[in-house]
Structure 1
Amino acid sequence: MSEKNKPPARKPMPGWLNFVFGGMSGMMGICVVQPADLVKTRMQLSGPSGKKSVLGVVGDILRKEGVTGFYTGLSAALFRQATYTTGRLGCYNGLSNYYTSTYGVPSFPIKLVMGMAAGGLGAFIGTPAEVALIRMTADGRLPPEQRRNYKNVFNALSRIISEEGPTMLFRGATATVTRAMVVNGAQLSTYAQAREMLVSHLGEGIGLHFIASLISGLVTTFASLPVDIVKTRVQNSAKGTSQVTVLRQIIQNEGVFALWSGFIPTYAKIGPLTVLIFIFLEQLNAMYYRWTDS
């Protein structure tokens, strides 16, 4: 095709829409995988005396809380995606734009470092929602007289501030940031490597992204789960405690392998969530361009 007959290049999407679509994609994706996240949290909080299999935890939830019990804490999960995912994308784009304008196109290691930094910053922004989410998803496993019975994420946040003080919203922030940096680092590197190895066999398309995401999710789950379990215990504790103390207690009381408790439901969340976010994001982008091209 000659230069004269080439269709005009599309105008780039406004930067703020990348944030909006990223947050919306995360929120839509979490609606699908929230049950797996809830099961994972319950397994992580069970401790040595209440260990159960995935099916055992699922059975308990169905028996005591019904099908809707799997979506306990959904408002907090949505709020977390709205803060963490949007914050992570905003931070990464800002770092990437600054580096490109100053030093040129970043190499893969630089992108990896920027992704870890953006993940940590986004996680700090999303820590209050994370605290509310952990507490709301853990509530159903407690005796009725000990439950907090938060109505929604905003009720949880306001009650935490009034009953325990505003600093409680950032309990476990260090653990949350650490986990986010591990997750972002593992996801970025393993997804890129799996994609590179598989593209010659599968070609470009959803199939490639799906399988690469599942491989990335497997490695990410293994690498991040110990940090995630420590974070969950810290944020759900009634009294403040350090990551090191919680880690030592888990190993002493439950054994090293307890650090990977809830592996299956965690992987059932991370793998599909990555795929779903990508699919939803592509659909939102396509809708935008259909609207602007019409």
Structure 2
Amino acid sequence: MSIDIKQLPRWYFGGLASACAVCVTHPLDLIKVHLQTHKGRAISLLQITGSIIKNEGILALYNGISASIFRQLTYSTTRFAIYDYAKANIDMSSFTTKMAVAAVGGTVGGWVGAPADLVNVRLQNDMKLPKKQRRNYKHAIDGVYRVIKTEGLPRLFTGSSTASMRAGVLTIGQIAVYDHSKYLFLRLQLFRDNIVTHVLASFIAGIAVTILAQPLDVLKTRLMSAKKGEFAGIMQCVVLTNKEGMKAFYKGTIPAAVRHVPNAVIIFIIYEKLTYNYGYIQIKYKK
């Protein structure tokens, strides 16, 4: 009989790590939203950043931070919790299994986090609107309350189907790719389970996330920032976005990559440290 001993994360570690990471990468997410919702002549990353700082001040780069944190504490907690629960209870050695579990976890997490996501997009995009049209939510909870009060509860889940699809794809690119990259590195026996391996695996995950999730991210952002009735549904959003050319689906790719890579690195460094110091021991006896 052999004994298998593992140090496993607690269900909320992924949400905590993601909330910490977003405090660093939020300005890049805000710039990405502005690029994705921009219509008209092409505008560069530096131009839109300069415009935000000039017109609204440097603190405007953190508009919507409360909603971003709220989103991670709902969306990321859910997807990590589902993935980690499966990892503790079933054989997750194959990449196919990792992908399937990540897709389920991300899809559920995307739906759970849709209200916070909608408010987050609106808070970030508010400064682009004329002053009379701005929603001026005070923070995430105020945004959720006012959406329910003025537009109805179902409005909170506008774009939730796209958000869920994106979250499923993103979670494959982030959690499954990270987990499997780490697994492959450790199999080489040239690497140990330390910060070097964590950084390398999370860097690969950040690149994978950017490539896989960007088109759905653009659609999700446009649906959530739209005025009521602007799009009849996701297909009309796809058609209208496609009229701008295929490049429109990859608007904001550079800031997305600049955000996704460090975001993944920060998430998994914190996540691994939490697991190492505050996780729990699982002991399994094998015949």
Shorter-chain TM-score tier: 0.7 to 0.9
Higher strand share: 2
Deviation string, structure 1 residues 70-92 (Cα, Å, up to 9, x no partner) = 10000000000000111112223
Aligned to 1:203: 191
Other-structure match for 1:3: none
CA change 1:28–1:187 in 2 (3 A) is closer
> CA 1:186–1:11 in structure 2 vs 1: closer, same or farther (change >3 Å)?
closer
Instruction: Confirm whether residue 118 of structure 1 aligns to residue 105 of structure 2.
Output: yes
- Look up the match of 1:78: 69
Q: How does 1:140-219 map to 2 (within 5 A)?
A: 140-188=127-175, 190-191=177-178, 194-195=181-182, 200=188, 203-204=191-192, 205-219=194-208
Cα distance change of structure 1 residues 63 and 202 upon mapping to structure 2, 3 Å threshold: farther
8 Å Cα contact 1:43-1:51 kept in structure 2 = no
The letter of the residue matching 2:252 is G
- Taking the aligned partners of 1:196 and 1:283, their CA distance within structure 2 comes to 17
Q: 1:29-108 residue pairs with structure 2 within 5 A?
A: 29-47=21-39, 49-96=40-87, 100=90, 107-108=94-95
What secondary structure is seen at the aligned counterpart in 1 of 2:12? helix
Give the number of equivalent residue pairs.
Answer: 272
Deviation at 1:188, TM superposition (A): 4.5
**Higher RCO, 1 or 2 (CA under 8 Å, sep at least 6)?**
2
Structure 2 residue 241 is the aligned partner of structure 1 residue 250:
yes
SS in 2 for 1:19: coil
Aligned partner of 1:274 in structure 2 is: 264
Amino acid at match of 2:10: N
1: CA distance between counterparts of 2:32 and 2:174? 19
1:212 maps to a residue whose letter is A
Amino acid at match of 1:59: G
User: Distance in 2 between the 1:69 and 1:173 partners?
Assistant: 26
Root-mean-square deviation (Å)? 2.4
Q: d(CA) in 1 for partners of 2:75 and 2:223? A: 19
**8 Å CA contact retained: 2:32, 2:256:** yes
CA 1:25–1:188 in structure 2 vs 1: closer, same or farther (change >3 Å)? closer
Q: Which residue of 1 aligns with 2:12?
A: 20
Instruction: Give the 3-state SS of the residue equivalent to 1:203 in structure 2.
Output: coil
| Unaligned residue ranges in structure 2 (runs of 5+) | 280-287
Report the CA distance between 1:36 and its aligned residue.
0.5
Cα displacement (A) at 1:202: 6.2
Structure 2 length-normalised TM? 0.86
Higher helix share: 1
- The alpha carbon displacement at 1:211 in A equals 2.7
CA distance in 2, matches of 1:236, 1:202: 47
Paired residue for 1:259, among 239, 243, 249?
Answer: 249
Kindly provide the amino acid, as one letter, of the partner of residue 215 in structure 1.
Answer: I
| Preserved CA contact (<8 Å) 1:73 1:133 | yes
* Aligned pair partner of 2:223 in 226, 230, 234: 234
Partner amino acid, structure 2, of 1:44: Q
Task: Select between 208-217 and 113-122 the one with higher mean Cα deviation.
Answer: 208-217
Output the CA distance in 1 between the equivalents of 2:183 and 2:275: 24
In 2, distance between residues paired with 1:107 and 1:93?
A: 15
C-alpha separation between the residues in 2 aligned to 1:154 and 1:12?
A: 36
Equivalent-residue separation in structure 2 for 1:130 and 1:50 (angstroms) = 27
SS in structure 2 opposite 1:151?
A: coil
- Structure 1 stretch displaced more, 118-127 or 274-283: 274-283
Secondary structure of the residue aligned to 1:89 is helix
**1:235-270 CA distances to partner (integer Å, 9 max, x unpaired)?**
111124311111111111x11111111011111111
Partners of 1:41 and 1:266 lie apart in 2 by 9
Query: Relative to structure 2, which stretch is displaced further, 128-137 or 206-215?
Result: 206-215
Change (3 A) 1:189 1:90: closer
